[in-house]
Amino acid sequence: MSDTTPAQNAQLIQQWLDEHRITEVECIIPDMSGHARGKIVPRHKYNPAVGLRLPEAVLAMTVTGDYPREDYTSVADPDMLLLPDVNTLRPVPWAKEPTAQIIHDCHRFDGTPIELSPRNVLRRILKLYEAEGWKPVVAPEMEFFLVQVEPDEDIPLKPPVGRSKRTEAGMQSFSIDAIDEYGDIFDVMYDWCEAEGIQLDTLIHEMGTAQMEINLDHGDPLPLADQVFLFKRTIREVAIRHNMYATFMAKPMQGQPGSAMHIHQSVVRTSDGQNIFSQANGEASDAFFHYIGGLQTYLPAATALFAPYVNSYRRLSRFTSAPINLSWGYDNRTCGLRVPHSGPEARRVENRLAGVDVNPYLAIAASLACGYLGMKQGLKPAEPLTGSAYEQPHRLPRHLDEAVELLLACAPLTDLLGGHFTQTYGAIKDAEYREYFDVISPWERRYLLLHV
């Protein structure tokens, strides 16, 4: 479908809508937080050849629905043109009436892409690889918790009750029986994901109580980011219909591990599909080590894209299966960068920095950008670590405001991601941090109110 013209794409969309007797179309875009924004349009009023309009300011919105003090749009609150990506056309399995969902791309009315669109940021990085004759391959792994429904934000989250009418006892890593406690949820999840074309690989029980991990099949970065975006919508809907929440907070519960989105990544030549991380004799190539060198050099400055909220930094602590630095090693899960055991054709790097709270488009774009800089600049990594990275110094930003400062000060990275995007992203995160800082926590009232 990618080689078809816009008119042919519009015709394909219309045919699909007719064949499935669609009555409504969810026209969606991912915002900076990875949340679905857009419009729901009656089928008879939806024209994919024309598209629709949405304020550009939607892409400058904070996670709380507020905006930075400065207007970061191209003019004072303009409209942007949304055009559908035919490759993202899917049913909405949970809708009562036949409903379609389709991700739209954000353009100006002269046809140029909107720099603030997370999908366009990822496309920007992919074009750099394309110009070199390279094609990245990624495989995301998403961790998330199932928790009890609790409308009161001041009450800590609790594990849900399973089919045994009990909550989990302790941590049930890799337990099949613990997964079976929520079998009804996962049966629906698989059915709905299959209907949406979300390529699920494996489901496992992670370390935390009612913490699960879903792996996606490896493939092209943009479609995989789309699948992560759509999967989050889907599993939240499944959980709510079973009287639970599915949460993608990086650290939702005290005393429990955080939730990550590990990103496996490799690069193949477009000419022959060969993995450039391996030489003809099967040994690791210079490109492989330069890629790791780029990740080690530039990921600290990109941390704000991998840990985008104040809560994200609660996850990045010692001895919790989360990185505190960017040491790398072979099959070493204490490292921020892990090289899994594999054959030469599957040689890859696992970036373990990202929390599952990330915008998947931005996290994948940032990881590929750091690796790209390493290959272009010929950066060399440190020696691989054979011991525990938790014994090494903490070398990542500890707070969101520090991470934003590092991002804005890193010219090579901001040039790749786009200056307008990084300035706006930094302003959004600054606004979120200021709003968080105004909130007085229960801990402060409990320990400081009468004791200081």
For 366-379, what is each residue's pLDDT tens digit?
999 999 999 999 99
Residue 305 and residue 181 in one domain: yes
CATH number, position 41: 3.10.20.70
Residue 104 and residue 150 in one domain: no
- Domain assignment of residue 53, yes or no: yes
CA 276/CA 201 separation, integer angstroms = 25
For 212-264, what is each residue's pLDDT tens digit?
999 999 999 999 999 999 999 999 999 999 999 999 999 999 999 999 999 99
- Domain assignment of residue 187, yes or no: yes
| Percent of the chain residues past pLDDT 90, beyond the cut | 93
Under the banding of pLDDT at 50, 70 and 90, the label for residue 1 is: very low
Burial 20-58 (b: 16+ CB within 10 A, else e): eebebbbbbbbbbbbbebbeeeebeebebeebbebebbb
Q: What integer pLDDT is reported at residue 170 of this predicted model?
A: 75
- Domain assignment of residue 1, yes or no: no
Q: What integer pLDDT is reported at residue 333 of this predicted model?
A: 94
- Domain assignment of residue 452, yes or no: no
User: Are the CB atoms for 68 and 123 separated by under 8 Å?
Assistant: no
Residue 307 and residue 209 in one domain: yes
Residue 75 and residue 155 in one domain: no
Identify the three-state secondary structure at position 71: coil
Residue corresponding to tokens 């353009």:
107
Of the three residues 114, 134, 151, the one that is the final residue of a domain is 114
Residue 96 and residue 224 in one domain: no
Q: Which sign, positive or negative, has the C-alpha torsion 393, 396, 398, 402?
A: positive
Residue 98 and residue 170 in one domain: no
Under the banding of pLDDT at 50, 70 and 90, the label for residue 320 is: confident
For 126-152, what is each residue's pLDDT tens digit?
999 999 999 999 999 999 999 999 999
pLDDT at 417 over 60: yes
Which tokens in the block code for residue 392?
Answer: 């090494």
Residue 38 and residue 180 in one domain: no
CATH number, position 198: 3.30.590.10
CA angle, 68 then 75 then 127, to 5°: 85
The domain of 25 spans: 6-114
Of the three residues 114, 134, 149, the one that is the final residue of a domain is 114
Residue 190 and residue 318 in one domain: yes
Residue 77 and residue 190 in one domain: no
Residue 325 and residue 409 in one domain: yes
- Domain assignment of residue 301, yes or no: yes
Please count the structural domains in the chain. Answer: 2
For 37-78, what is each residue's pLDDT tens digit?
999 999 999 999 999 999 999 999 999 999 998 877 766 779
Global pTM value:
0.96
Q: What integer pLDDT is reported at residue 71 of this predicted model?
A: 76
Of the three residues 114, 147, 175, the one that is the final residue of a domain is 114
- Domain assignment of residue 351, yes or no: yes
- Average pLDDT in the 100-129 region? 97
- Domain assignment of residue 439, yes or no: yes
Residue 146 and residue 277 in one domain: yes
Residue 174 and residue 253 in one domain: yes
